[in-house]
Amino acid sequence: MAVLSIDQAGPMCSVQDAGRQGFQRFGVTPAGVMHPQAAALCWQLLGRQNHPLIEVSAPGLMLRCDAPVSVSFVWQGRVEREGVAVANQAGRLSLAAGEGLRLHPSPAQWGYLGIHADYCAEPLMGSYATHARSELKVFDPLSAGASIEIAPWPLDAELTGLKGLAPTSDPIRLLAGPQIARFSEAQIAQFTETDWRIGHRSDRMAYQLEGPPLSLAGNHDIVSDGITFGAIQITGSGQPYVLMADRQPTGGYPKIGCIIAADLGRFSALPPGSQVQFAWVDLAAAQAAAHAEAAELHAAMRVDQPDFRSERLLGLNLVDGVVNAKYN
């Protein structure tokens, strides 16, 4: 057993995984990672899907462990190991006992740190995700002085030369929402023609979009229905809000659209004050974007020095497409 100690942490740093799935119909928010693409890259570096990650907010994080441990990271800011800068924005490092790791402030809102260790705590409702508002959590939100007990795995090989996730200023793509018929063609066009700004009233629950209000011909109230990550809800004031990982399970305002899965991370990475534009796409384009995203993540995992150690290979899924000659 070892202890992971937090020396510094920005607001909203927490332990997250893919979320508490299967309970939203009972009023339980999934929570989980805010940047699915960055988290997916960190999971690939770890070699374990859905392993709990430390989600780091833009101001950064500093920690150390009292035993040797490997860590994987995806972070747009500077990374230092005991004061020595690490050039990559994604990679895998090993820390000696007591050695400090610092993630300096980042232009992106979220990054991830994967600890190559088991957490000495049981998941809650099948997940380590933190939902601070409802106090559904295994660990408290991380702050200076916090500590987590872990059982480190054998040290893994360090990786360098990763490409990381390429930033882009392309419009965020949208699918039509379930109540889009409540909006006129002019309002639908207005939404994608507006240069929106991410408001400062933005957090893990929702991002506020600042810009000209969108009005409805009738009442804004609807029969409450389920809310998905990326849904854009228009309140009674005409103010749009993009519902994020800590969203409420249901909502009673009309939803004009929903950000496609491939663009969720790119949108969530935008800090308050950022300008953002949207573009409508159809389902086929959204599916094509998902395939392109998978290819990008695969390309990001190309490294300068391949790691073929048995410990690493045993942690990966190397068998796929198995065929039984008798039944196929």
Which pLDDT tens digit goes with each residue over 32-80? 999 999 999 999 999 999 999 999 999 999 999 999 999 999 999 999 9
**CB atoms inside a 10 Å sphere around CB 202:** 22
Cα atoms in the 13 Å half-sphere on the side-chain side of 262 = 23
| Residues in Cβ contact with 169 at an 8 Å cutoff, skipping those fewer than 6 apart | none
Nearest alpha-carbon partner for 259 in 291, 224, 227, 303: 227
Q: Which residue has the higher pLDDT, 325 or 226?
A: 226
Domain boundaries, the chain: 2-152, 172-281
The CA distance from 57 to 220, in Å, is 34
φ, ψ dihedrals at 230, nearest 5°: 100, -5
Which pLDDT tens digit goes with each residue over 171-202? 999 999 999 999 999 999 999 999 999 999 99
Tokens of 273: 């004050």
Percent of the chain surpassing pLDDT 90:
78
The CA distance from 305 to 52, in Å, is 26
What average pLDDT score do residues 222-233 get? 93
Q: Which pLDDT score is estimated for 328?
A: 39
Q: Which pLDDT score is estimated for 315?
A: 52
Whether 319 has a pLDDT exceeding 90, the answer reads no
Q: Across all residues in the chain, what is the average pLDDT?
A: 90
Whether 305 has a pLDDT exceeding 80, the answer reads no
Whether 321 has a pLDDT exceeding 50, the answer reads no
What average pLDDT score do residues 142-166 get? 89
- For the chain, the residue count is 328
Q: Which pLDDT score is estimated for 218?
A: 66
What average pLDDT score do residues 218-239 get? 88
Flag the least confident range among 20-24, 253-257, 309-313: 309-313
Sign of the Cα pseudo-torsion (282, 283, 288, 291, in order):
positive
Question: Taking the domain 172-281, which CATH number applies?
Answer: 2.40.100.10
Note the pTM of the prediction, 2 decimals.
0.89
What average pLDDT score do residues 215-219 get? 71
Tokens of 260: 């496609």
Q: Which pLDDT score is estimated for 320?
A: 46
Q: Which pLDDT score is estimated for 143?
A: 96
What average pLDDT score do residues 238-243 get? 95
Which pLDDT tens digit goes with each residue over 83-129? 999 877 899 999 999 999 999 999 999 999 999 999 999 999 999 99
The CA distance from 232 to 254, in Å, is 8
